[in-house]
Amino acid sequence: MKKTEILYLKIAKIIEEQIQNETLIMGDKLPSVRSAHKLYNVSVNTIKLAYLELESRSLIESRPKMGYFVSRSALRNSELPSVANINPLESKNTPEDLIDKVFGTLNKSDVTQFALGLPGKDFLPLTKLNKSIITTLRNRNDAGTSYEPVQGTEELRRAIAKWALVMEGKITEDDLVITSGAMSAVYNALMATTSPGDSVAVESPAYFGILQAIKTLGLKAVEIPTHPLYGLDLDALKKVIPEIAACCIVSNFNNPMGFKMPDENKKELVRMITAYNIPLIEDDIYGNLYFGTERPKPCKFYDEADLVLWIGSVSKTLAPGYRVGWIAPGKFKDRIIRQKLVQTVCNSSLYSDVITDFLEHGRYDHHLRTFRNKLYNNYLQINRAVESYFPDNTKISQPKGGFMLWLELDERISTTELYNTALAQKINYAPGRIFSQYNQYHNCMRLSYALEWNERVEDSIKKLGQIIKNNI
């Protein structure tokens, strides 16, 4: 055992040196475990341990069914974005005009859409989905027109519960409520757990949809400093936790930062909210888009007190326009169902049937595997492109999944001011300013890489880099 330990560290050291001296460069595939065991003349197990060691240090990354690759973090030229200093004395406002502007261009097909929080058409199995719609209509000719139960069809809820292996059986169909996309789930979760005037802790930068929902419901957002790799600063949260009514986060492959909150932090967060009896709204819509070997656990997995409202959807992965999301609302289930009845009565039963079909026949998992590979490849592309074309002092997030890249640019840059310049060049991005209620993140931007990578996209990143360089 001792011998193996030394041996695997030695091999890890050799590979690390190859990475440092650029014998192996970012994106290179490492020898398979089997080849390496012959190459180094050590046991298969020693190689596995060496690779795990390198992976734990983010030097290499494993890709399911493909093996190990040199991680981009191994040779990062760029720093990570900073953790924000949040000044609650700063005047508050949500920059709604700016959000409207960004959303206003979404249907323009001649614009390169880095702003879109949605996968491009090329990533969706349109033919299969449409075939499923037609089959569903043939099997049940009133599938489209009938009302479904307010909670959602039992079939869809059961299919989601069965498919959500990450919960290891802790979720059943009874625990789930189908919602009109994840945004509706977040909105209703906030509504069910708070009263107007209450405070809600959120990450900073935060997904602007969450900030807007908080504002619409007459609530106050308390922005918590957030680390680009580890997420919510739990010490900072601890200080405000006695004053908040709920906490609302994107725990896995966060929007906009891309981090995966470490398991230990998730456990600690659940311990904290349980101690204070504070509901935790966990938007986990990117959780299945992991670059690593497995789907990360949600906070919900550690929730014994039924205080976590866990949210998922197929909008980011399969069919944005179907508006099929869900929530496992713990003890707030009855309230959520009642709110849904009052707001929209029910979902469209046709889409429920189609998604049930997709989940049950393993087609969703099959699609997710392909989709993850494409996204990881795109992530490598956009990271390379930004490092090539943007100023050297650009700080780049290091997403572990999902499809959002967060950039922190030179302090002299205002991505709000440059927005129109970029749009004139047919480039749409999400300016940093919309991810906070305070006047911050002016020098940041979020880029989505869930779009087919081609020359136009490459060229758009080049142009964007030039625009920024011209303004320093």
Nearer to a second copy, 336 or 468 (CB): 336
One symbol per residue from 50 to 89: x for binding a second copy (CB under 8 A), - otherwise; what is it?
A: ----------------------------------------
Nearer to a second copy, 36 or 186 (CB): 186
What span, in angstroms and rounded, lies between the C-alpha atoms of 226 and 288?
Answer: 22
Cα 141 off chain centre by:
37
What span, in angstroms and rounded, lies between the C-alpha atoms of 34 and 83?
Answer: 41
Residue type, 34: R
| HSE-up of residue 362 (Cα within 13 Å, Cβ side) | 0
One symbol per residue from 95 to 134: x for binding a second copy (CB under 8 A), - otherwise; what is it?
A: -x------x--xx----------x--x--x-xx-xx--xx
Report the run of H or E that residue 311 belongs to, with start and end. strand 308-313
Residue pointed to by tokens 């929209």: 344
Q: How far apart are the first and last CA of the chain?
A: 56
Q: How far is the CB of 322 from a second copy (least distance, A)?
A: 6
| Contact in structure between 131 and 331 (CB atoms under 8 Å) | no
342 interacts with a second copy by CB under 8 A: yes
What span, in angstroms and rounded, lies between the C-alpha atoms of 433 and 416?
Answer: 7
E strands in 171-236:
177-180, 199-204, 220-227, 231-232
Nearer to a second copy, 68 or 429 (CB): 429
For 346, other C-beta atoms within 10 Å of its C-beta total 18
One symbol per residue from 343 to 372: x for binding a second copy (CB under 8 A), - otherwise; what is it?
A: xxxxxxxxx---------------------
Residue 142 CB-density burial (10 A; 0-12 exposed, 13-18 middle, 19+ buried):
exposed
DSSP bridge partners of 80: none
Q: How far is the CB of 50 from a second copy (least distance, A)?
A: 43
Nearer to a second copy, 326 or 389 (CB): 326
One symbol per residue from 167 to 206: x for binding a second copy (CB under 8 A), - otherwise; what is it?
A: -------------xx-xx--x---x---xx----------
Nearer to a second copy, 42 or 111 (CB): 111
Strand order in the sheet with 430-431: 395-396, 404-408, 444-448, 430-431
Q: How many residues bind a second copy (CB under 8 A)?
A: 56
One symbol per residue from 138 to 157: x for binding a second copy (CB under 8 A), - otherwise; what is it?
A: ---xxxxxxxxxx-------
Q: How far is the CB of 126 from a second copy (least distance, A)?
A: 5
Q: How far is the CB of 321 from a second copy (least distance, A)?
A: 5
Interface residues toward a second copy, by CB under 8 A: 96, 103, 106-107, 118, 121, 124, 126-127, 129-130, 133-134, 137, 141-150, 180-181, 183-184, 187, 191, 195-196, 209, 212-213, 216, 218, 318-323, 338-339, 341-351
